[in-house]
């Protein structure tokens, strides 16, 4: 019998005097240290290096550094989804008995966590209107520890009083957590503007191609950062190296995608505003937006890629639009290269009563558009086709 080679031994890559241009994908979960002394040094922070994938890996760190640069901070943490980022933050920083003041139009799952999940662990929340800093001040209690807000709300695109709430958090010694997914650091540089903790769902505009779920957290205070990191590692909110690699690839074109999508969103908002089937357009860049004046300082001309509008009709008319324009993906997500259309009354806000939706201004003919990077004439034709069926 011939002697078989040891196929289990990993030999690594061949030597090369030239280097790979693209970041290598490193899926290894385990890392072998040369000896016990080195392992001690790694755990005690005297030597850098990886030990086990749940505790960190190079593709996550490469991605974190890119997003750190976008926010202007250091030491961001990558997690398996945007909700993992929200979970690690709230579970890492809060204990039973603590109280949160949260925005009343947060991302649906964040609201569910505040209203239904955290109370099981003794953490309670009061929701308030983030366009009104006084409403936040009024909601603070002695046991309040943290404020959670988004700069631009979903789906009505209301712009929060970021300056007022940031000041309030500082004065009252509260941790200000900003979920900056919708705006991105280009639209609102949350960390530079004073947020203590910044969260992103990297799944959306940052990765940009609807093929990964990832999250990111950046905490200013080293103790907070460690608490969030340890929670993520303990609870297992691990990001996959492959998804980190894809998201890094997505970020190569972030600036191009953002600028193109925003340019088209401005055109789409103006186009919809003149269409006879449309009752109202909500876009922070338009003078008729209820928070346009505040948007000019908060968003600084970076109005973003999200446009909402209300048809004059209700669900029947909304259905006709969706059916007549199948090229516009009817999908409740945002930030994809392709334009997507969502209908909050039947998706993100279906759990509310009709009165609850009406209070937020969400009618049965309400649509939220995440504008992609298609050429404007193509998109205009798609919307014309859809709206002509209404």
Let me know if 179 is a catalytic residue: yes
The 3-state DSSP class for residue 201 equals strand
Cβ distance to ligand PLP smaller for residue 204 or 257: 204
Instruction: Identify whether the C-beta of residue 86 lies closer than 8 Å to the C-beta of residue 199.
Output: yes
Name which of residues 371 to 390 contact ligand PLP (CB under 6 A).
none
Let me know if 204 is a catalytic residue: yes
The position carrying tokens 């949260």 is 102
Does the protein bind ligand PLP through residue 201 (CB under 6 A)? yes
Query: What distance in Å separates the CA atoms of residue 385 and residue 307, rounded to the nearest whole number?
Result: 18
Identify the active-site residue in 107, 191, 216, 283: 107
At its nearest, how many Å lie between ligand PLP and the CB of residue 173? 25
Cβ distance to ligand PLP smaller for residue 136 or 237: 237
Let me know if 43 is a catalytic residue: no
# of chain residues touching ligand PLP (CB under 6 A)? 14
Buried b (16+ CB within 10 A) or exposed e, 32-63: ebeeeeebeebeeeeeeebeebeebbbbbbbb
Does the protein bind ligand PLP through residue 181 (CB under 6 A)? yes
Which token pair is 318? 């909304």
Cβ distance to ligand PLP smaller for residue 166 or 201: 201
| 71, 179, 243, 382: which one binds ligand PLP (CB under 6 A) | 179
CA torsion angle for 351, 360, 102, 349 (degrees, to 10)? 20
Does the protein bind ligand PLP through residue 178 (CB under 6 A)? no
Instruction: Identify whether the C-beta of residue 137 lies closer than 8 Å to the C-beta of residue 276.
Output: no
Does the protein bind ligand PLP through residue 62 (CB under 6 A)? no
| 107, 191, 283, 309: which one binds ligand PLP (CB under 6 A) | 107
Let me know if 54 is a catalytic residue: yes
| 153, 184, 203, 339: which one binds ligand PLP (CB under 6 A) | 203
Compute CA distances 291 → 57, 131, 157, whole Å.
Answer: 42, 8, 9
Cβ distance to ligand PLP smaller for residue 179 or 382: 179
Neighbours of 98 (CB within 10 A): 18
Q: Which stretch binds ligand PLP (CB under 6 A): 141-149, 197-205, 270-278, 364-372?
A: 197-205
State the maximum Cα–Cα separation within the chain, in Å, rounded to a whole number. Answer: 83
Query: What distance in Å separates the CA atoms of residue 53 and residue 44, rounded to the nearest whole number?
Result: 18
At its nearest, how many Å lie between ligand PLP and the CB of residue 38? 36
Does the protein bind ligand PLP through residue 243 (CB under 6 A)? no
User: What is the DSSP annotation of 365-376?
Assistant: TEEEEE--SS-H
Name which of residues 145 to 164 contact ligand PLP (CB under 6 A).
150
Query: What distance in Å separates the CA atoms of residue 113 and residue 94, rounded to the nearest whole number?
Result: 13
| 187, 215, 285, 304: which one binds ligand PLP (CB under 6 A) | 215
Q: Given the rule CB under 6 A, which residues bind ligand PLP? A: 81-83, 107, 110, 150, 179, 181-182, 201, 203-204, 213, 215
Catalytic machinery residues: 54, 107, 179, 204
């Amino acid at each position: 019998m011939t002697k078989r080679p040891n196929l289990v031994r990993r030999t690594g890559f061949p030597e090369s005097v030239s280097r790979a241009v693209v970041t290598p994908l490193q899926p290894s979960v385990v890392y072998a240290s040369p000896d016990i002394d080195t392992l001690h040094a790694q755990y005690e922070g005297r030597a850098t290096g990886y030990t086990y994938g749940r505790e960190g890996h190079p593709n996550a760190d490469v991605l974190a550094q890119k997003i750190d640069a976008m926010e202007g901070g250091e030491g961001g943490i990558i997690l398996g989804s945007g909700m993992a980022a929200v979970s690690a933050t709230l579970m890492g920083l809060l204990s039973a008995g603590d109280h949160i003041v949260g925005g009343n139009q947060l991302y649906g799952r964040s609201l569910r966590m505040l209203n239904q999940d955290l109370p099981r662990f003794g953490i309670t929340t009061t929701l308030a209107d983030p366009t009104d800093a006084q409403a936040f001040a009024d909601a603070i209690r002695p046991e309040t520890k943290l404020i959670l807000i988004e700069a631009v709300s979903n789906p009505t695109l209301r712009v929060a009083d970021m300056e007022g709430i940031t000041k309030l958090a500082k004065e009252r010694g509260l941790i200000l957590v900003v979920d900056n997914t919708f705006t991105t650091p280009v639209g609102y540089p949350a960390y530079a503007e004073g947020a203590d903790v910044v969260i992103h769902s990297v799944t959306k505009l940052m990765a940009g191609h609807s093929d990964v779920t990832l999250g990111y957290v950046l905490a200013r205070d080293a103790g907070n950062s460690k608490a969030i990191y340890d929670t993520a590692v303990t609870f297992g909110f691990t990001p996959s190296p492959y998804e980190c690699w894809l998201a890094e690839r997505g970020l190569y074109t972030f600036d191009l995608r953002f600028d193109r999508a925003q340019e088209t969103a401005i055109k789409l908002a103006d186009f919809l505003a003149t269409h006879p089937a449309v009752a109202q357009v909500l876009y922070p860049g338009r003078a008729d937006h209820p928070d346009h004046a505040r948007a000019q300082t908060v968003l600084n001309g970076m109005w973003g890629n999200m446009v909402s509008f209300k048809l004059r009709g209700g669900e029947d008319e909304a259905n006709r639009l969706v059916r007549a324009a199948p090229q516009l993906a009817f999908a409740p997500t945002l930030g994809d290269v392709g334009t997507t259309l969502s209908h909050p009354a039947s998706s993100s806000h279906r759990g509310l009563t009709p009165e609850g939706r009406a209070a937020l201004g969400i009618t049965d003919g309400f649509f939220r558009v995440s504008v992609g990077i298609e050429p404007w004439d193509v998109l205009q034709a798609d919307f014309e086709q859809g709206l002509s069926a209404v």
